[in-house]
Structure 1
Amino acid sequence: MKYFIIINLHAGGDNAKKVWPDIQKQLAAAHADYQTLYTAYPNHAVELAEQALSEIDTANQTDAVLIAAGGDGTLHETLLGCQHYYRVHQNDHPVPIAFLPVGSGNDFARGLKIPLHWEKALADILTQSAAKTINVGHYTDLDHHSEGFFTNNFGIGFDATVVHLANHSSLKSHQFFGQFSYMAAILNVIIHFKGFKTEILPGNMPKVTFDNTFLLTTTDIPYFGGGINIMPSASVFDDHLDLVVVEKPSLWQLILFVSMIFLKRHLRLKFIHHYHEKELFIKTNGNRLGQIDGEELGERTFNLKLDTVKYPFWIR
């Protein structure tokens, strides 16, 4: 087996850089055949994934695995690179992706029960013998005729604003306090966030309009925001997506919402709406912040179609 490791050394407040020598030692001890590709700038992992796949095809290598070593953003970019490559170069047996969680959020790892300690996660990768096909999120921007993919979730509004503030927080780059950057951002957004109008067309159901949307996230896994269990039943082995819409709560409703999340009973609340569909249409009025797998999409109007596509992952 040949492993192509795409690593973001700055992931997790430079945690990846700190543990990389130990990762190399474990690889050497296992006599692993691997090649390292280092990310140097945003979206570089997209290019590196395409580069690795081109090299694999040229060598006609049939036993290769791409390892995304970093956080959810590194995994997201690696998936994008693979999808871009195979849109041009059709292949019935695409190279699988493995995830080595050395970032700060690691929600994908939580959702698929990949060990959060890199030593165990790497050992699992090196002893795995076959890939599993999972469903990953796919979206089409109906206004700009573009598309994209996500392993975790696509959020508009509250969670996107949290991601924006967390990514620009001085805590984000701190090795220890980086894990608290999301919580600090959440408190900030709770105080200042204003609701917005959203139109939802869930599958073949009638259109639903929410005039005061607070949180809107389409997810393929249970977690978002660094470990918040927003959709306990979500699964990558299901070809449906889960959409959670929260109408802007009052203070007491917000306290109830947070409390019920920890009990995994928040979906019972009247101001929370859940849809489980193979296909979703979402439209917002005015410019809103968006995020995908913890990566900022900027502020814009969204007019989206969302569904899933299949891709092999090197997981247990």
Structure 2
Amino acid sequence: MEYFIIVNPTAGGNNGRKIWPQIEQYLKKKNISYRAYFTEYDGHAVSIAMRILDQITATNHPDAIIIATGGDGTLHETILGCMRFYAEHPQIKVPRVPVGLLPIGSGNDFARALKIPRHWKKALHDIFECQVPTKIHIGHFINHDLSTDGYFLNNFGIGLDATVVYLANHSLLKHHKQFSGFSYWVSVLHAIQTVQPFELTVTHPNGTVHTYSKAFLVTATNHPYFGGGIDIAPRASVYKEQLDLVIVEKPTYRQILLFIFMLLLKRHLHLRFVHHFSETHFELKTKKARYGQIDGEELGHKTYNASYETKDYPFWIKKTDNSQL
């Protein structure tokens, strides 16, 4: 087995740069065959993954595994590169090269959903113990306005959570050594006060259309977590073909406190201003521009007219008890 490792040195606040020498020493000690590739800018892992697959395909490599070493963003780019490569080469009939994950980022929601150990040595051990790939369902969306598509491993958000991502990324506190940790929570408070409700139209698989005039937080997800461990869709699973859609209508301040309390109890989906669906596909449309995010990355301030579904991809992971769901 040979491992093609994509390393993001800046993942987890430069954690990748600090940890890689230890990982490399461990690999050499175990006599593991590997090749390392280091990202240098945003989006670099996409092209690296495509280049790796081109090399593997050209040499007909029989036992290749790609390992994304970083956070959710690094894995997102790696999978995006893989999906693009196979889409551009439909003539390839051999099984797709599996992807593994060493979670050394800050959020790691996807690793949490798959119960991948947070410590790199334990995660590597599970990778080496794996014998066969596991089919995982990831989110796929089509932007009908631009005739483009994309993928998400965690969630596609419109409204509150996306505004938090935008504010946190552009906060002056983010780059302050002493107060960088507060930037997220300051952004949450600011977003709750400033985000205005918007009209959202949802088209379901059976053709039924629902319109929500006061949408506030909209999240399409294929596993339970978002925002660094918040259990927004407790029954969502990467082993199912369905995506979960959670819509929160604009709450009062009292309802916000109730929502947080029920969220901790994992009973927030029972609230009357929270709507939840689990479906194989659906469409979302907004009339007014709002911030959006995919796996924690900004989409900008715009309107949305998109359809959502799942696509499967082989992952090199240790199977968990719920992998048969």
CA distance in 1, matches of 2:8, 2:225: 22
State whether residues 134 and 313 of structure 1, in contact with CA within 8 Å, keep that contact through their aligned partners in structure 2.
yes
Q: What one-letter code is carried by the residue in structure 2 that aligns with 1:215?
A: L
| Shift in CA distance, 121/173, structure 1 to aligned 2, threshold 3 Å | farther
Moved more, 239-248 or 191-200: 191-200
Structure 2 counterpart of 1:127, from 113, 126, 129: 129
What do residues 234-260 of structure 1 show as CA deviations (whole Å, max 9, x unaligned)? 101100000000001000100010111
Q: Per-residue deviation at 1:27?
A: 1.2
What do residues 30-72 of structure 1 show as CA deviations (whole Å, max 9, x unaligned)? 2111111111111111000000000111111011111111110
Q: Per-residue deviation at 1:169?
A: 3.6
CA distance in 1, matches of 2:89, 2:110: 27
RMSD between superposed Cα atoms in Å: 1.6
- The residue that corresponds to 1:109 in the other structure is 111
2:48 pairs with 1:48 = yes
State whether residues 14 and 175 of structure 1, in contact with CA within 8 Å, keep that contact through their aligned partners in structure 2.
no
- The residue that corresponds to 2:199 in the other structure is 197
Structure 2 counterpart of 1:252, from 239, 254, 260: 254
The percent identity for this pair of structures is 50
**3-state SS of 2:111 partner:** helix
**3-state SS of 2:187 partner:** helix
2:282 pairs with 1:267 = no
| Shift in CA distance, 170/69, structure 1 to aligned 2, threshold 3 Å | farther
2:60 pairs with 1:63 = no
Q: Per-residue deviation at 1:187?
A: 2.1
Moved more, 110-119 or 276-285: 110-119
- The residue that corresponds to 1:94 in the other structure is 96
Structure 2 counterpart of 1:304, from 306, 315, 319: 306
Q: Per-residue deviation at 1:127?
A: 2.0
**3-state SS of 1:235 partner:** coil
| Shift in CA distance, 112/177, structure 1 to aligned 2, threshold 3 Å | farther
2:241 pairs with 1:222 = no
State whether residues 179 and 226 of structure 1, in contact with CA within 8 Å, keep that contact through their aligned partners in structure 2.
no
2:245 pairs with 1:243 = yes
**3-state SS of 1:9 partner:** coil
2:11 pairs with 1:11 = yes
Q: What one-letter code is carried by the residue in structure 2 that aligns with 1:82?
A: C
TM-score (norm 2): 0.93
Aligned residues: 316
Q: Per-residue deviation at 1:180?
A: 5.6
- The residue that corresponds to 2:321 in the other structure is none
- The residue that corresponds to 1:74 in the other structure is 74
The answer for unaligned runs of 5 or more in structure 1 is none
Q: What one-letter code is carried by the residue in structure 1 that aligns with 2:237?
A: S
CA distance in 1, matches of 2:317, 2:178: 28
| Shift in CA distance, 256/190, structure 1 to aligned 2, threshold 3 Å | same
CA distance in 2, matches of 1:204, 1:83: 28
TM-score (norm 1): 0.96
State whether residues 202 and 275 of structure 1, in contact with CA within 8 Å, keep that contact through their aligned partners in structure 2.
no
| Shift in CA distance, 266/68, structure 1 to aligned 2, threshold 3 Å | same
- The residue that corresponds to 1:283 in the other structure is 285
Q: Per-residue deviation at 1:128?
A: 1.4
CA distance in 1, matches of 2:213, 2:229: 28
Moved more, 142-151 or 243-252: 142-151
Matches within 5 A, 1:30-41: 30-41=30-41
State whether residues 163 and 225 of structure 1, in contact with CA within 8 Å, keep that contact through their aligned partners in structure 2.
no
Q: What one-letter code is carried by the residue in structure 1 that aligns with 2:170?
A: H
State whether residues 286 and 301 of structure 1, in contact with CA within 8 Å, keep that contact through their aligned partners in structure 2.
yes
- The residue that corresponds to 2:29 in the other structure is 29
State whether residues 6 and 48 of structure 1, in contact with CA within 8 Å, keep that contact through their aligned partners in structure 2.
yes
State whether residues 182 and 226 of structure 1, in contact with CA within 8 Å, keep that contact through their aligned partners in structure 2.
no
What do residues 147-179 of structure 1 show as CA deviations (whole Å, max 9, x unaligned)? 111111111111111111222345556899766
| Shift in CA distance, 315/243, structure 1 to aligned 2, threshold 3 Å | same
What do residues 263-311 of structure 1 show as CA deviations (whole Å, max 9, x unaligned)? 1000000000001110110001121111111111111110010001110
CA distance in 1, matches of 2:140, 2:152: 6
CA distance in 1, matches of 2:254, 2:57: 57
Q: What one-letter code is carried by the residue in structure 2 that aligns with 1:48?
A: I
